[in-house]
Amino acid sequence: METTTAQALEILQDNHYKLTKQRKSLIGFLSTHRERYVDITKIDSYLRQLYPGMSHNTIYRNLKEFEEIGIVETHIENDQMQVKYQCDYANQHHHHFVCQNCGRVTEIQMCPIDMSFFESQLPGAEITGHRFELVGLCAECRAAKNDSK
């Protein structure tokens, strides 16, 4: 189930965050980038154009808080933090396929990782999560690549 803007605003309220115009603008911007990760610097530029007095720290703090409550997902690409709107708030544990050409992100709902395998190798450790991501060419980019040959 795709997370809607209304759901994101409800999540903010449920977690006792004020629905400021800046947060609403941030959610609005992210909702237009549902299928791709966006560099935080692009988000920063957009919000600082709308709200010139808004600090970088406020933007980054809000994104971190949004991640903690499940509104956004994060990703590192070339040492750059990127975020995207949560694919599915009801199913936060999922993984992705990311097209290396167009950047489209596709949700993979099955988790292929058996945590007991890792727990046995890390006696006494507490594993609190993991990330799994497949990369390659999406069907459209693969077809376009084959057509150009």
List beta partners, residue 108: 95
Q: Which residues are annotated as a binding site?
A: 93, 99, 102, 130, 138, 141
Q: Strand 133-136 to strand 95-99: parallel, antiparallel, or no bridges (unpaired)?
A: parallel
Q: Which residues are annotated as a binding site for Fe cation?
A: 93, 130
Of 38, 35, 59, 37, nearest to 47 (Cα)? 59
E strands, 78-147, are 80-85, 95-99, 105-108, 133-136
Q: Which residues are annotated as a binding site for Zn(2+)?
A: 99, 102, 138, 141
